[in-house]
Structure 1
Amino acid sequence: MWTKSTSDWREHRIAAYNAGITLFYAMQNGTAPPAGMEITPLPDADQVHATNGSFRQISGAPDAPRITIVPILPDTANQITGAPVTLAILSPSLTYSLADLPRRNGQTGAETLGAITRKLATFCSDPFVVARMGDADWVEIVGNTVWGCDVAPPDLRILAALLVVVATGILLTVVLNLHSSFLSFADQLRNRRRVGGPTRYEPYGPQELQEIITAVNSYLEIEREQLASRAAVLSGVSHDLGTPATRLRLRAALIQDGNLRRKFETDIDSMTGIIESVLTYTNVEMGAEEPRNLSLTSLLEAIVANYQDVGRPVTLRKGNDVIVRGGKSIFMSRQGYGVMSNDRDIVVVGRPVSLERAITNLIENALKYGRSATISLEADAQSATVIIDDEGSQSSATEIEDMLAPFQRGENTKTIDGHGLGLTIVATIAKLHGGKLSFEDTPAGVSARLDIQRS
């Protein structure tokens, strides 16, 4: 469209240029004017007005016109002296600029007049044109068939540019929507376990994204089947071991040697405890519990109260207030600050049974390896952190973090009951809630930090 319009206008301007050259020789030699153009002498009264420069007084001139006077010097090429031409262009809306007219040595008057008619054809204003060759009479030049608005080709370049802008906007929208679709699915997949996402996703968006979603659905199905099979096997093993374990307990009770009887009973308890721990870990991995809104403050208060009821040294400490930095403003040269009190009720989206198990495991570890456990809660708009500080623990934060892998136990835990899955279960629950489990050394012992996302 742009090329066709440009080509049509180029041909239109070339035709106007050629008509101007023919018009010059028609005025000079009295030959026929270009096709479609007329040269008409002005009446006597208008001759006087034109000679005096009162072009607005000429009959047929537009009301309140803008006047452009174009002097064309006589030809001097080949020692032939021609007559000058004076051109007066009366336009209802335009004053034509002469600065961009071509000028060169040896340029003829015909070429100059051709350049003027080409300029008239460039603008759509239907001018009123009078001219005079030397001292001859003034004539009116009617050339609307050459430079008039009706004969100008349609200029589709603006429409073409508009269509390009619209097409670019559509393309950018499609690209951004495509980008947004991939990011949206990635976010859903990233938070699937934390927020209890669907077991499968409906394919949507472009073909590439649909293929990815289909592949993800296949992977999730295989993963669920593997976890379900693992849990079924472990559950079956636990059930099948129940009967022989009971028989062993009954037979161990018949052993007269008390020391030997206690060793048998300890081995039986260890065996059943390992199976139950593995089952718990597998159930946590499967994320079977649905997340919901819960008060983390109330959950901690209930857990601490249960320990205090049986005389365990577990206390709940008030958390520190959170300093919140305000947003920037064009009316202030610095950012403001606010205080978020930790006395308020902290609500999170989580799995209450899993969170209770994780917090209880951390408290039990603090009591096993230290003398007491102090619980506190810190929260901001994005996350909440449950902090369990022990007192008197001989392990460092680095040593405890090395025991996050399954069945890993420290050197100082040989005489303490456990199976090496407690911290692994807590770390899995933390990841299930979009957070993590970490440890820090404190002057009194070690501090465990369970971070979870609030929404």
Structure 2
Amino acid sequence: MGPALVLAALAIGAGTLWMWTKSTANWRAHSTDAYAAGVTIYYAMQNGTAPPDGVSLSPLPDADQIHANAGTFRQISGAPTAPRITIVPILPDVANQTTGAAVTMAILSPSITYSLADLPHRDGQTAAETMGEIIRKLAVFCSDSFVLARMGDAPWVHLDGTAVWGCAAAPPDRRLLAGMLGIIGVGILMTTALNLPSTFSTFAGHLRNRRRVGGPTHYDAMGPLELQDIIAAVNSYLEVERDQLAGRAAVLSGVSHDLGTPATRLRLRAALVQDPELRRKFEADIDKMTGIIESVLTYTHVEMGAEEPRNLSLTSLIDAIVANYQDVGRPVTFRSANDVIVPGGKSIFMSRQGYGVFSSDRDVVVSGRSVSLERAITNLIDNALKYGRRATVSLETNAHTATITVEDEGSQSTAADIENLLAPFQRGENTATIDGHGLGLTIVSTIAKLHGGTLSFEDTATGIAALFTIQRD
């Protein structure tokens, strides 16, 4: 599409240039012909020679001669109705004053009063050349004028030259059309040039949000050839990535399934161990082994983003999760958010700026994966309970994002220490007393990225706050 538009713009540009050049040449030729006709008319009036082609010189009738001598040109028969009158005196040549005579012209135009100040004038310009310039002006400014002239005291004559300076004799002026076509061509080129980076940016935005919004696994080629090559490469990469993730999940699922039977046998055999302490250790190792496998499977499924996003109430989801913990006596609370005050625009009717208030009781709706979000919030609450005495959950939103904050109380770690545990299988120094496999925060961080957000931590006066931020749309 882009190359076609460029070719179309170039074709329009070439057509515009040809049309402008052709019209300019035609008007220049028309002007030159009118000038030559004016020079010939002067000599025809002076010497009685033949007028130029397309021009006739007709003496006025006696009644009209009286009106012309009196200056009442509007009373002459054949004159336009309510014309604008331009009187043009042409002095005789300086070198020919003995035989030449002044020429007086009366131009009666239906719509134009001709300006004489802008007529070309040079030293030594002859009277014939001056009349040529006047006839040129008549030809350039189309108005179908009624032209009278006399030389000296000779009778007035009617100069009928509509074939030379009339509106019908003027060539078509396509320069305005050429200018409009030129603007259209420039507009096409500018639109193509401006849309080119926009096309790349649009595709980059779609690709950036692909996993967050459950986008397609294949993109149709669009835009310029360079972008089509990029899209083809991205499609190839996505296919390889999808196959790798599917293969990884299949392998882990197979390993989990295959280890299920020996793990069951180990449990049965561990039950036969007479030593209670040794039996407990066997069972703990078996539980740890199966827990690691299940954690890896959970991480892989989250990374694949198999769950389709949908609109859900984040407020209701958090409230239900917190209620489940409270039902079993765990110290988890949901802290209500503060009302949001939004400054309003200034008004010409008030000296102070207004504002709007959004109640904290409002329902926060997001587009997301409910199971993944529930797993992320649960993991953060579990971590807060493991490393502290209680967990407090809160929700803050704006027009674009929603931030779930989980604060613990009594944790001895710092935010920097927790940031280092985001990589897979990274655990803190107190692994001997805290259960886990090192994938909880990694899963939460992956879920945040799937929703266009981030996972970060902050130190508080009582412990650590985990900030789980996601995009709302």
Residue aligning to 2:400: 382
Instruction: Give the Cα separation in 1 of the matches to 2:298 and 2:94.
Output: 109
Aligned counterpart, 1:67: 85
Aligned residue among 449, 464, 468 for 1:431: 449
Percent identity over the alignment is 75
Q: Name structure 2 gaps, 5 residues minimum.
A: 1-18
The alpha carbon displacement at 1:165 in A equals 3.0
Q: How far 1:131 sits from its partner (Å)?
A: 0.8
How big is the shift at 1:136? 1.6
1:413: how far off? 4.0
Mapped to 1, the partners of 2:75 and 2:162 lie a distance apart of: 21
Q: In the alignment, residue 80 of structure 2 is paired with which amino acid? A: P
Amino acid of the structure 2 residue aligned with 1:443 = A
What's the CA shift for 1:368?
0.7
Quote the offset at 1:106 in angstroms. 1.3
1:60 CA drift (Å): 1.4
Are 2:221 and 1:203 aligned? yes
Give the partner amino acid of 1:226.
Answer: Q
Name the SS of the counterpart of 1:197 in structure 2: coil
The one-letter code matched in structure 2 to 1:64 is A
Report the Cα distance in structure 2 between the residues aligned to 1:426 and 1:187, rounded to whole angstroms. Answer: 23
More off after superposition, 404-413 vs 10-19: 404-413
1:45 alignment counterpart: 63
Distance (whole Å) between structure 2 residues aligned to residue 275 and residue 306 of structure 1? 26
Q: Give 1:243-258 correspondences, 5 Å limit.
A: 243-258=261-276
Indicate which of 19, 23, 43 corresponds to 1:25: 43
Q: Alpha carbons of 1:279 and 1:165: their partners in 2 closer, same or farther (altered >3 Å)? A: same
The correspondence of residues 334-413 of structure 1 with structure 2, limited to 5 A, is 336-413=354-431
Bigger shift: 201-210 or 423-432? Answer: 201-210
2:66 counterpart SS class: helix
Deviation at 1:245, TM superposition (A): 2.5
Q: CA 1:335–1:431 in 2, change beyond 3 Å: closer, same or farther?
A: farther
Match status 1:149 vs 2:167: yes
Asked if the contact 1:21/1:110 (under 8 Å) is kept, the reply is yes
Structure 1 residue 224 displacement after superposition: 0.7
Counterpart residue number, 2:53: 35
Cα offsets for 1:378-423 (capped at 9, x unmatched): 2233222111110011111122112111122233444322221111
SS of residue paired to 2:214: coil
- Cα distance in 1 for partners of 2:210, 2:306 equals 12
Alignment of 1:48-447 (within 5 A): 48-77=66-95, 82-174=100-192, 180-327=198-345, 336-447=354-465
The answer on whether the counterparts of 1:77 and 1:106 sit within 8 Å (CA) in structure 2 is no
Query: Residues 149 and 78 of structure 1: is their aligned pair in 2 closer, same or farther, counting only changes over 3 Å?
Result: closer
Question: In the alignment, does 2:44 pair up with 1:4?
Answer: no
Deviation of the 1:351 alpha carbon: 1.0
The aligned counterpart of 2:8 is: none
- Conservation of the 8 A alpha-carbon contact between 1:327 and 1:335: yes
- What letter is aligned with 1:11? A
> TM-score if structure 2 supplies the norm length?
0.90
Aligned-residue offset at 1:231: 0.8
**Cα distance change of structure 1 residues 168 and 300 upon mapping to structure 2, 3 Å threshold:** same
CA distance in 2: counterparts of 1:414 and 1:452, whole angstroms: 33
Aligned partners of 1:182 and 1:333: how far apart in 2?
Answer: 46
Deviations 1:319-372 (A, max 9, x none): 112222335667677753211112122221111111111001000110111110
Distance in 2 (CA, whole Å) between partners of 1:286 and 1:334 is 52
Out of 40-49 and 245-254, give the one that drifted further. Answer: 245-254
SS of 1:261's partner is helix
Structure 1 residue 317: deviation in Å? Answer: 1.2
Range 164-173 or range 116-125, more displaced: 164-173
Report SS of the residue matched to 1:100.
coil
Letter in 2 for 1:96: Y
Deviates more, 1:183-192 or 1:324-333: 324-333
CA-to-partner distance for each residue in 1:280-327, whole Å, 9 max, x for gaps? 111000001111121211211111111111111111111112222335
- Higher mean C-alpha displacement, 45-54 vs 323-332: 323-332
Cα displacement (A) at 1:257: 3.9
Q: Is the contact between residue 75 and residue 81 of structure 1 (CA under 8 Å) also seen in structure 2?
A: no
Give 2:16's aligned residue.
Answer: none
Instruction: Could you tell me which runs of 5 or more consecutive residues in structure 1 were left unpaired when the two chains were aligned.
Output: none
Distance 1:390 1:399 in 2: 15
Give the 3 Å change call, closer, same or farther, for CA 422–80 of structure 1 in structure 2: farther
- 1: distance between equivalents of 2:96 and 2:158? 30
Q: 1:213 to 1:327 in 2, by over 3 A?
A: farther
In 2, Cα distance between equivalents of 1:188 and 1:391: 41
CA-to-aligned-CA distance 1:413-448 (integer Å, 9 cap, x gap):
443222211111001001111111111111111111
